[in-house]
């Protein structure tokens, strides 16, 4: 329960990678954080492998700066969400706080669309490499990369390190 009192927002869109959403949500909740989901519409949203997550809020309902951390799962969700100005603005508004912003797999696509990756050392799913380089990132192949307030990882196998790094950042240790 180390994260008691911390509020974390998870950005969910259709086609999210199931584990990359559920594993951090479950981890953060077990650690005592309040986890809130946000997306372009409320209700049940299905992941690429059939997991359903209930989205509690639309972007306009929430103040991004009121959270202690943000998680952007991968899959097809980031490419879908980047089409929504509200999603790009929500992520950019949160990033400006300097609080931990964690993206895994294709999550970098939403960060890039929000104008956040130029000059950033980051990782992600190998297929987004060229897109991230074009957006001005230094893209590396590592389990977890931390650059300023941004935490990135590549694939579901990286989730234990991703979660541990996010927890350390939330506790002010990383």
Q: Which of 88, 106, 154, 169 is catalytic?
A: 106
- Mean pLDDT, residues 116-137: 97
- Mean pLDDT, residues 69-78: 98
1 in a structural domain: no
58 in a structural domain: yes
Respond yes or no: is residue 38 known to be catalytic. no
- Mean pLDDT, residues 131-153: 97
- Mean pLDDT, residues 72-99: 97
Q: What percent of the chain has pLDDT over 70?
A: 99
66 in a structural domain: yes
- Mean pLDDT, residues 14-33: 97
162 in a structural domain: yes
CATH number of the domain within which 114 lies = 3.40.50.880
Residues 6+ apart with CB under 8 A from 172: none
82 in a structural domain: yes
| Domain that includes residue 157, residue range | 7-169
2 in a structural domain: no
Does the structure show a pLDDT above 80 at 64?
yes
Q: Which helix (H) or strand (E) holds 3?
A: none
Does the structure show a pLDDT above 70 at 36?
yes
pLDDT digits (tens, 9 = 90+) for 40-54: 999 999 999 999 999
71 band by pLDDT with thresholds 50, 70 and 90? very high
1 band by pLDDT with thresholds 50, 70 and 90? confident
pTM, two decimal places: 0.97
Does the structure show a pLDDT above 80 at 173?
no
Question: How many domains does the chain divide into?
Answer: 1
What would the 3-class secondary structure string for 71-114 be?
Answer: EECCECHHHHHCCCHHHHHHHHHHHCCCCCEEEEHHHHHHHHHC
Q: Which of 87, 91, 105, 111 is catalytic?
A: 105
20 in a structural domain: yes
157 in a structural domain: yes
Average pLDDT, the chain: 97
**Alpha carbon distance 57, 51 (integer Å):** 19
Respond yes or no: is residue 106 known to be catalytic. yes
Determine the pLDDT at residue 174: 63
């Amino acid at each position: 329960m180390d994260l008691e009192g911390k509020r974390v927002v998870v950005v969910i869109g259709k086609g999210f990678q199931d584990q990359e959403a559920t594993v951090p949500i479950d981890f953060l909740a077990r650690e005592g954080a309040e986890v809130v989901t946000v997306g372009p519409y409320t209700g049940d949203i299905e992941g690429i492998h059939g997991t359903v997550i209930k989205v509690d809020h639309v972007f306009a309902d929430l103040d991004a700066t009121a959270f202690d951390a943000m998680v952007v799962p991968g899959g097809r969700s980031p490419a879908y969400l980047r089409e929504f100005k509200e999603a790009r603005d929500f992520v950019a508004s949160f990033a400006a706080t300097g609080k931990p912003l964690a993206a895994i797999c294709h999550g970098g696509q939403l960060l890039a669309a929000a104008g956040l990756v130029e000059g950033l050392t980051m990782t992600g799913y190998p297929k987004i490499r060229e897109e991230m380089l074009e957006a001005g990132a230094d893209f590396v192949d590592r389990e977890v990369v931390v650059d300023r307030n941004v935490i990135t990882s590549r694939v579901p196998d990286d989730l234990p390190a991703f979660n541990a790094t996010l927890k350390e950042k939330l506790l002010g240790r990383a």
